[in-house]
Chains A and B, each alone.
Chain A
Amino acid sequence: MLWNTILLSLREIKRNVMRSFLTILGIVIGVGAVITMVTIGGGATLQVKQQIASMGSNLLMVSPGKRLGPGQSTGNIPFKQTDVEAIARDVRSVAAVAPVSSQAIKAIFGNQNWSSQVTGSDNQYFTVTNRSIGAGRPFSESELRAGAAVCIVGETVRKKLFGGQEALGEKIRLQKLSCEVIGLLEGKGQSTMGMDQDDIVVIPLSTYQRRIAGNQDVGLIQISVQQGASTEKAQQEIGRLMRERRHLSPSDDDNFNVMDMKEIARMLTGTTQLLTALLSAVAAVSLLVGGIGIMNIMLVSVTERTREIGIRLAIGALESEVLMQFLVEAVVLSSFGGLIGIVAALAGSLWLAGILHVPFVFNAGIIIIAFLFSAAVGVIFGYFPALKAARLDPIEALRYE
């Protein structure tokens, strides 16, 4: 019975392909836009989350300098290796502490050269920044202490300098320092700010201080907090410790900065999610407009087919059957629109995800919701025209020209 009605409505749609397509265009665009927005938005949120997770969501960064208004700066007092050791020793919830000093330096191997971020640190750096050594070995204790001319390079640097060649054991030149490649980092991809995290050369801090910077400073301190421990508490403890070490009186402002990656993460994902919700809401309005389009065309269709309805009623169709016919027709139309919209949205989001460099996240939930919603639009906006058709007087309808 219902199957028959569906077949009838399919016949009717087939008879009016062009009009049917225009009718459902609103639904196609509405469903397509909502799914695309949600999919791309979900991808963007996931990307932000992934990048932050890859940076270490329990990461704290201590940098020198006051929190000042825009454009202002003060004479920063840099950190020393002893600050790093003090934090590692005195702050209990800390998992790893790494000193980081870096600057952009041209790395040269043979006739290849590549300007990269050269970072002086120690093995803790890999723990804190969630990097792992893919080949070779980390720094040894003696290399770190003595400031040996060794380095561990990131994937991008390896590709640019060595191409397909074996990199381990080769020597690259950083300014006047010629250092041996003892390890290769595994690739990490782009960071949230669009920086290439693999464009990096790590050398022992003492080597950096002595041979490149020419001082004993540590640019910033990166800390990873133990799993489950409160980062806020760690933040406070580090703040207290640093104030003490820098002999600040209670009236003085901090002349250093402790940043929490979690905060930044929350802020970034919050922004993407809000944007996604807003854009989806705008897209959902077009679904409503699409529904009104369906009602409009169905009303026209009822008027146009008055005679047909008269014929059907005259040869024994029940009111309820005519109602069902038009209702099913509206629902089949709008569901078709939904299906086409879903296909278009998947293709569109795949394409957009490629262009925007956002991961494609297949969201089955929103697809089901969008489809059900499109069918519901058919029921809601198809009911009134269907009722109008069913209530026609067969005698009048047969006389209608």
Chain B
Amino acid sequence: MKTADTREATCESGRHLIEFRGVTKVYGEGQAAMEALRGIDLKIDEGEFVAIMGPSGSGKSTCMNILGCLDTPTSGIYTFKGIEVGQLTRKQRALLRRHYQGFVFQGYNLLNRTSALENVELPLIYRHAPAHERRQRSLQALETVGLKGWESHTPGELSGGQQQRVAIARAIVTEPAVLLADEPTGNLDTACSREILELLTSLNCDQGITIVMITHEPDMAANAKRVVHFLDGLVASDKQNGRAQ
């Protein structure tokens, strides 16, 4: 595994955790070309809780895919922990995801017919953690999200809110540098949304996990420390949120 050199190269301090410089993303070619991002500049530091808002088609999801190293910019530079992601191979990007990023999706994206514990263990399996450590850390992560005692339940036996908590536990079990959440409350009712939001807020405040979250709902965004508005592939506004601090 080449994880060691990936890690060493990231040990530079004084830089931003995430930095977008003139990032564009174009889908298709020629006449059919569609500009999803038209030059984004964005800096996110460790410990931040950033909410990204914007109407459909404004480039939020594209930005999130690039943030999560699932996609690369067409032009411009994206550095994560000082590494230029655009230069990495698919394999190196996978290793970056494995070691530094946690994902939470709108649709939970848990493995069906697989217990909550096994779902949470999954990223640790790819990190080749020994079985006992895997189990211990997964149980702890489930406890953190308030699902102690639900370890053996499969997604089918859990409510939407509980499934999303399992997904969050899976994202934080590796103690990632950043937690990327793509509309984590999009499928949930208000009460559940509030619980999830409280959970994310406490993870950010108590454990210092950097969170970048896409959301449609203004009252969700109101809980974040910083709100970035996207419009037509550009950053329309970028405000610190006084209330949350």
Interface residues of A (CB under 8 A from B): 1, 4, 8, 11, 15, 307-308, 310-321, 394-395, 398
Contacts and interface: CB of A to CB of B under 8 A. Distances in A.
B29 to A, nearest CB: 17
A1 B123 CA distance: 14
A319 B98 contact: no
Contacts of A15: 113-114
Contacts of B68: 314
A8 B114 CA distance: 11
Contacts of B123: 315-316
Contact of A314 (B91, B103, B113): B103
A311 B111 contact: yes
Contacts of A398: 105, 109
Contacts of B112: 308
10 closest Cβ contacts across the A-B interface? A316-B98, A316-B97, A315-B123, A311-B109, A318-B94, A15-B113, A316-B126, A394-B70, A395-B70, A317-B126
Interface string B60-71: 000001001011
A316 B128 contact: no
A15 B155 CA distance: 14
- Give the residue among B70, B94, B127 with the most A Cβ atoms within 10 A: B94
27 contacts: A1-B128, A15-B113, A308-B111, A310-B109, A311-B109, A311-B110, A314-B97, A315-B98, A315-B102, A315-B103, A315-B123, A315-B126, A316-B95, A316-B97, A316-B101, A316-B127, A318-B91, A318-B94, A318-B95, A318-B126, A319-B90, A319-B91, A319-B94, A321-B126, A395-B65, A398-B105, A398-B109
Contacts of A310: 109
A321 B127 CA distance: 12
B4 to A, nearest CB: 16
Contacts of A321: 126
Nearest to B108: A311
Interface in B91-132: 91, 94-95, 97-99, 101-103, 105, 109-114, 118, 122-123, 125-128
A313 B91 CA distance: 10
B170 A315 contact: yes
Contacts of A8: 125
Interface of B: 65, 68, 70-71, 90-91, 94-95, 97-99, 101-103, 105, 109-114, 118, 122-123, 125-128, 170
Contacts of A320: 91
A4 B102 CA distance: 22
Given A8-B125, A395-B65, A395-B70, A317 B94 contact: yes
Contacts of A11: 114, 118
B97 A307 contact: no
Contacts of A308: 111-112
A244 to B, nearest CB: 90
A367 to B, nearest CB: 34
Contacts of A4: 125, 128
A11 B115 CA distance: 11
A308 B71 CA distance: 18
Contacts of B95: 316, 318
A360 to B, nearest CB: 43
A316 B94 contact: yes
A313 B97 CA distance: 9
A307 to B, nearest CB: 7
Contact of B122 (A307, A312, A319, A394): A312
A8 B122 CA distance: 10
Contacts of B127: 316
A217 to B, nearest CB: 85
A310 B105 CA distance: 12
A211 to B, nearest CB: 87
A337 B72 CA distance: 43
Contacts of A319: 90-91, 94
Contacts of A314: 68, 70, 97, 103, 109
Contacts of B170: 315
Nearest to B111: A308
- Give the residue among A1, A310, A315 with the most B Cβ atoms within 10 A: A315
A315 B97 contact: yes
A319 B91 CA distance: 7
A312 B91 CA distance: 13
Nearest to B99: A316
Contacts of B128: 1, 4
Nearest to A8: B125
- Give the residue among A1, A312, A319, A320 with the most B Cβ atoms within 10 A: A312
B171 to A, nearest CB: 8
